[in-house]
Amino acid sequence: MSEKIKLARYRNTSYFVRYDADGASRQYTWNGSKNGKPEIKEVPREVADWLAMSSICFDKGELVIIDDNDTTTEIKDGISELEAYENNTHTQEEIEKILTGNINKMKAELKKITVDSEKQFVIEVASSFKDDLTKGKLDFLAEWMGVDSSILFA
């Protein structure tokens, strides 16, 4: 029996992977996080290895390896853009903490995010408590997204 690796989808949109091996095709689908709870699926080790070597789903933070052991460390070592992976994989709780913290720390953390879908996830999380954010934070979020602050949450 193949070793299983837990992969999570932190963003609130769905994601799927089609894995072809030995003439068979298998599809794995993550529906996305709901109410801050990530969607977690177990996949065979060879699928996780294939994703690390042949796709950008880890580099772009689309999927997150959630276990921390020797096997997952090996897989993470195979991720070509490990820094991008770490900067673009945030849970809803982590984003809320960034947004409600110090504005300078918030700016520094958000500037590390390079993937548009992660940026959109940040804005979706921010929209749930936008009335509690200062004007400075809202203006920065709008500038960061490249939109006018009046349409940021439209």
* Total residue length of the chain: 154
Say if residues 45 and 71 touch (Cβ distance below 8 Å): yes
Q: Residue 18 pLDDT > 60, yes or no?
A: yes
Name the pTM for this structure.
0.86
| Banded pLDDT at 152 (limits 50, 70, 90) | confident
Residue 15 forms beta bridges with which residues?
30
CA 149 – CA 140 distance, rounded (Å): 9
Comparing CA positions, the residue from 100, 125, 99 lying closest to residue 110 is: 99
Q: Residue 10 pLDDT > 60, yes or no?
A: yes
Query: What's the mean pLDDT when you consider all of the chain?
Result: 92
